[in-house]
Structure 1
Amino acid sequence: MEKKIKVFYDGNCKVCDKEISYYKKNDINKKFEWVNIHNSKSKIQRLNLQKKELMDVLHIETENGKILKGVDAFLEIWVNFKYFKSLAFFVRIKPIKKLTEIIYKIWAEKRKKKY
């Protein structure tokens, strides 16, 4: 059985859940396992991460067990979707990636206060 990329997301965040729902619907090759951090305690414990860390930013575990978070996690997701590959390529350009990381960090901080 092929290992899947595990995406750890905050299912209580409406924006997060809506975006993940889009990805789920379009994951036609079933390359991902979508893990809502609020009802997957055993999978979280196996990662040696605290739920609070997972609440801060999106995390993924690649097929080979590497943990990626924030923008790097999104990039790994995007390269696996036809219509997001170009976006992933664009965001990987150093100055654009840095700006994207700053914007994501600001958004994540605001999201934490809201949810």
Structure 2
Amino acid sequence: MLTVYYDGKCGLCAREIAFFQKRKASNPIRWNDVARAPETLADSGLSQAEALMFMRVADNKGQIHGGVDAFILLWGQFRGWRLLARLLQLPLLHPLASRLYRLFAKLRFRAYPHCRLAAEQAGTTAQILAEKG
């Protein structure tokens, strides 16, 4: 079973997750909105701020993947999306997609007050913004 940690207060994030929740995955998926239910992070080793910065997915072994690698795992569970997941793993596309996603995620994180507040409460704003999800 995959566990997806996402920011349910982000309109774009919430729409994407809702899209996938309506589809049949090849394996069960647990959906954790870390903005509204930070307690779902208790066994993950992630802070709320870390989970808000980049989407995270825990695989069936409990290993946590972030950023583009999280999307690759998630998309790989859905028919019609597996090809995109495979393409993002290509040597030239993966680093480019990772850089673009990190840029987008950091801009999004700075724009949302609930993200900044979570980082300030944890005292990790600079660390979170420097992270390479």
Taking structure 2 as the reference length, the TM-score comes to 0.79
List alignment gaps of at least 5 residues for structure 1. none
- The aligned amino acid for 2:104 is W
Q: Please give the alpha-carbon distance, in whole angstroms, between the structure 2 residues aligned to 1:31 and 1:89.
A: 20
Deviations 1:37-91 (A, max 9, x none): 0233332021121101001100011111111111000000111111111111111
Local SS of the residue matching 1:82: coil
Determine which of 61, 66, 83 is the counterpart of 1:64. 61
- The aligned amino acid for 2:12 is V
List alignment gaps of at least 5 residues for structure 2. 113-133
Aligned residues, how many?
112
Bigger shift: 88-97 or 40-49? 40-49
**Deviant stretches of 4+, over 4 Å:** none
Partner of 2:42: 45
Partner of 2:51: 54
Local SS of the residue matching 1:46: coil
Question: Identity, % of aligned pairs?
Answer: 25
CA distance 1:23–1:97, change in 2 (3 Å):
same
Bigger shift: 11-20 or 46-55? 46-55
Partner of 1:94: 91
Taking structure 1 as the reference length, the TM-score comes to 0.91
Report 1:1-115 matches (<5 A): 4-27=1-24, 31-115=28-112
Q: Please give the alpha-carbon distance, in whole angstroms, between the structure 2 residues aligned to 1:40 and 1:90.
A: 33
CA distance 1:110–1:41, change in 2 (3 Å):
closer
Deviations 1:82-109 (A, max 9, x none): 1111111111001100000011011101
